[in-house]
């Protein structure tokens, strides 16, 4: 199972409905480099970029520990 995590608030989603991905690396990468993406939940995308505030208004964020946080507990 893949889970998306918001770079701003840390909430998560399995479906990503209404989520926004923004490229956050150098737009002219070296050949073969994969683009880096920053993922935003609807409320954070609306706050940061003004993207679809109507969707953000109805969206309920869910939080759970990030994979890196789970590794620290073991």
Write the CB contacts of 34 (distance below 8 Å, at least 6 apart in sequence). none
Q: How many helices (H) and strands (E) does the chain have?
A: 3, 4
Is the pLDDT confidence value at 74 over 80?
no
Q: What is the pTM of this model?
A: 0.75
Write out pLDDT tens, residues 3-61: 899 999 999 998 888 999 998 887 776 666 778 899 999 999 999 999 999 999 999 88
Residue 73 scores a pLDDT above 80 = no
Position with higher pLDDT, 64 vs 54: 54
Q: What are phi and psi of 46, to 5 degrees?
A: -70, -40
Domain edges within the chain: 4-25+34-67
């Amino acid at each position: 199972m893949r889970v998306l995590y918001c770079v701003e608030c840390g909430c998560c989603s399995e479906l990503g409905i209404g989520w926004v991905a923004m490229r956050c690396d150098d737009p002219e990468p070296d050949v073969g480099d994969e683009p880096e993406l920053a993922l935003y939940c609807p409320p954070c995308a609306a706050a940061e970029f003004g993207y679809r505030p109507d969707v953000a208004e109805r969206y309920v964020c869910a939080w759970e520990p990030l994979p890196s946080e789970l590794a620290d507990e073991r």
